[in-house]
Amino acid sequence: MKRFFYRSQQTAVGAVLLTVFLLMVMPESVRARLKSAIGGLFLPVIGISTTGQAALESLGQLGVTQPGPFPTNQAAGASPTVADLQLDNDRLAEENRLLREAVEWERRIPWETRLARVVGRDPFNWWRRIKINLGSNKDIRLNQPVISVRGELVGRISEVGPLTSWVLLVGDPNCRFSALLKESRSQGGIVSPRQYSSDPRVVELTYLPNDVELRPGQAVVTSGLGGGFPKEIPVGQVVDSWRSKDGLYTEARVKLHANLNQLETVRVLTQTHF
Amino acid sequence: MTGRINKTLGLLIGAYLLVFLQSHWQGPRLWLGFQPDLTPAILVCVGLTLGAGQVSTAAMLTGLWLDSLSANPLGLSVLPLFIAGWAVFSFRELILRDELVAQFYLGTAAGAAVPLLQVWLLQLVGANPLLGWQMGVWCLVNALLCGVAVPVFDRLAKLLDRWFSHPLHDPNRWPNENRQIVRGKH
């Protein structure tokens, strides 16, 4: 009996080592396909979770009469006071502003966009990636830029599957790109943060010339250099700045406009009009 | 035998759901600012209570599932998880494994060691993960969460075991209506 347990332990260790060894020597293409197949095991749970969420939402709608995204006091049946009307007016003005902004952005960029839903995230914190529900079946291609609904830079497509794709978010070590300060037009590069920050929206803008005048709140946009992203996509705002250790260039912390932890829907830039 | 199959199935379903939640449930990311990884806690629980086969199966499947949903090279997480589970399994006779404090310490140690091993392996294979003080702080908080998770998973496993398994046969249990010997005068 003791011998059997001993042998079973050997088998257990051997199985793990063999698996790791086989995965290491496997060709990259086979490993990618295997990875995709194993990831596909989660599709049923994703489906159940999505259906459950939709069912709960529809149940909620059956139980409660929804007057719309911004319910007004008139709809609730209460007699409106001046203060209530002012409140409703403010809400509608804000909604109007957001819609105008979205439409304005759509008009301004020379790209076609496609809305996508965020369906997953990389479980490890040292990667910043999200999974969207569009894949090669919807003509999604590698390195297409991804922006938020309001048009702020989010990242780029890094992997395309048949039904889903992975988006590399701004701040990931593998998502570096050229950006510029909107006022002074000084160029630098956006990299992942190297200093501690409790705010996950903070990235770094590096390789700025030393004579640049940096102030907190200055807007940072994409420069269009390198061809990765189109020009003038809003990235974020300068928080603070310092001279690099060797004194050759200036660096700055930039707070991203898009809250990457709260993305639910994004836009993929699919085609230019040029 | 059935009990062992039940436990293995329960363990794998639990690990599968945990990996799914870590990838698809945004709640912790919004509250804490990062996504906790509680898979080391599962391996510690398995090492404390189940056999060698379950430790290796759990490490392999959990590692592969995690890597399939991440940018890690496939199979990278298997070895760190296995080392954590196997270390606990090998020394479990020397540990007061039912003690809450012991479970907390084991979970914390595994929760800190597994991400460090993963990052070390990532750097060995030439990957470029996001590192820095921020990651260190997240790693520390994650280790504490793993420490808390081990007793929780252990209690949960015992509860499920009580619900879905037959009680162990104990011949010395008294009073035992079926086995009681009624002695007369003669």
Chain A: closest CA distance from residue B185 (Å):
45
B1, part of any domain: no
Q: Of A4-13, A158-167, A240-249, which gets the smallest average pLDDT?
A: A4-13
Q: How far is CA B51 from CA A2, A5, B88, in A?
A: 13, 9, 11
Contact B71 A124 (CB under 8 A): yes
B179, part of any domain: no
Instruction: Please tell me if residue B159 touches chain A, with a CB cutoff of 8 Å.
Output: no
Asked if the model's pLDDT at residue A260 lies above 50, the reply is yes
Q: For chain A, what are the domain ranges?
A: 108-170+262-272, 177-257
B 17-46 residues with CB below 8 A of A?
A: 17, 19-20, 22-24, 26, 29-30, 33-35, 37
What's residue A246's pLDDT? 85
B143, part of any domain: yes
Asked if the model's pLDDT at residue A274 lies above 50, the reply is no
What's residue B175's pLDDT? 59
B53, part of any domain: yes
> What SS3 state is found at A3?
helix
The residue range of the domain holding B156 is 35-164
Determine the CATH number of domain A108-170+262-272. Answer: 2.40.10.340
Interval A98-116: pLDDT, tens: 677 667 766 666 678 888 8
B93, part of any domain: yes
Q: What is the mean pLDDT of chain A?
A: 81
**% of residues, chain A, pLDDT over 70:** 83
Residues of chain B neighbouring A166 (CB-CB closer than 8 A): 71
Q: Counting Cβ atoms within 10 Å, is residue B96 exposed (0-12), middle (13-18) or buried (19+)? A: exposed
> What is the pLDDT averaged over residues A24-33?
88
Chain B residue nearest residue A173, CA to CA = B130
Chain A residue nearest residue B122, CA to CA = A126
B67, part of any domain: yes
Mean pLDDT, each 10-residue run in order, chain B (186 residues): 75 92 84 88 92 91 92 91 93 85 94 94 88 84 94 90 72 62 70
* A254: confidence class by pLDDT, cuts 50, 70, 90: very high
Q: Do domains A108-170+262-272 and A177-257 have the same CATH topology?
A: yes
What's residue B59's pLDDT? 94
Give me the residue from A9, A122, A199 closest to B70, CB to CB. A122
Distance CA B112, CA B104 (A): 12
What's residue A220's pLDDT? 92
Instruction: Please tell me if residue B94 touches chain A, with a CB cutoff of 8 Å.
Output: no
Instruction: Please tell me if residue A127 touches chain B, with a CB cutoff of 8 Å.
Output: yes
What's residue B144's pLDDT? 95
Determine the CATH number of domain A177-257. Answer: 2.40.10.350
Interval A35-81: pLDDT, tens: 888 988 888 888 888 788 777 767 765 554 444 444 444 544 556 78
Q: Quickly count: other Cβ atoms within 10 Å of residue B186's Cβ.
A: 3
What's residue B2's pLDDT? 61
Distance CA B147, CA B100 (A): 10
Tokens at A244, concatenated: 């690099």
What's residue A1's pLDDT? 47
What's residue A70's pLDDT? 43
Contact B118 A19 (CB under 8 A): no
Distance CA A195, CA A253 (A): 9
On whether the CB atoms of residues A241 and A249 are closer than 8 A, the answer is: no
What's residue B86's pLDDT? 92
Instruction: Record the pTM.
Output: 0.78
What's residue B186's pLDDT? 64
Asked if the model's pLDDT at residue A252 lies above 60, the reply is yes
Chain A residue nearest residue B133, CA to CA = A196
Please provide the size of chain A in residues: 274
Interval A125-156: pLDDT, tens: 888 899 998 888 888 888 899 998 888 899 99
Q: How far is CA B175 from CA A77, B113, B171, B180, B183, in A?
A: 69, 49, 10, 7, 15
B6, part of any domain: no
What's residue A176's pLDDT? 87
Identify how many contiguous H helices and E strands chain A contains and give both numbers.
Answer: 5, 12
Instruction: Please tell me if residue B179 touches chain A, with a CB cutoff of 8 Å.
Output: no
What's residue A105's pLDDT? 67
* Number of folded domains that form chain B: 1
Residues of chain B neighbouring A13 (CB-CB closer than 8 A): 52, 56, 86
Distance CA A233, CA A98 (A): 17
